[in-house]
Structure 1
Amino acid sequence: MMIRTATAEDVPAIVALLMDDPLGAKRENPGDPRYATAFAAIAADPNQVLAVADADGEVVGTLQVTFTPGLSRVGATRATVEGVRVRSDQRGNGLGQQLMEWAIKEATTRGAAMVQLTSDVSRTDAHRFYERLGFVTTHVGMKLNL
């Protein structure tokens, strides 16, 4: 298994991973042309990394890391991890940990001061997973859907 930068050909498999849970099943729409537009924007942005876990040519996991430079914390860059998914038949074998360790290493390599993430309040298993990796709950997240 290797972790690599995603290609446009990986998009359908990534969307399938995003749909492979109760929340994603409600909000994703395979075949929608907006995925190609979004992928092009991600691929063109040097502050974005969309990665996949590739097992013999099959996408079995994914995550996205966004690097945000800022003035707070003495000009620190933050690495935000989003869209972490592991294919259901691959869960429980350490792949999620490998993906997160890869993201943390990528953040360190790029000089980020911290790695942050949000997780839906209903994802209690995910919360335990992130806590096992050393993440701590420090903030209240808020969103405004547009």
Structure 2
Amino acid sequence: MNFTAIVSLLQTRFGPEAVVANTTNPQPYLTVPVEQLVAIGQFLRDDDRLFFDLLACVTAIDNGPEAGTMEVIYNLTSIPFEHNLMLKVVVPRTTQPLPAVPSLAHLWRTADWHEREAFDLVGIRFTDHPDLRRILLPADWVGHPLRTDYREEDQYHGIQTK
């Protein structure tokens, strides 16, 4: 199934306002509302015509304070049908509380690690995640290093960091 057919199927099921296609990039992608992410993800996984059985990657991007948004990007693959899809959700950029996106770990087990990485490095909270805690940095690390406004502390436990 090609990108256009997938878009058509999703827009029929969820509405054209809920599934926005972007074909200007070298790899086309869909932007979906954060409120419908779980339902769309479950449909992509469970529908026999699509069967996206692999969540290959979850990436988070901080667009900076000026833009005021953050993005979470999902790369999905259907191994038997050999088709790929990129999904994106855009959320407001906040520091307290952290931006929230629902977890997809109950749909794809690989989301567990990737969501923890995005939480740790970019500071996006994944609601209903089974074990949302830092995975790469120490538990007492201050901040999220891949945020555009991150400032590293001068010392960590008496060790000079700069």
TM-score range, shorter chain: 0.3 to 0.5
Structure with greater Cα Rg: 2
TM-score normalised by length of structure 1:
0.34
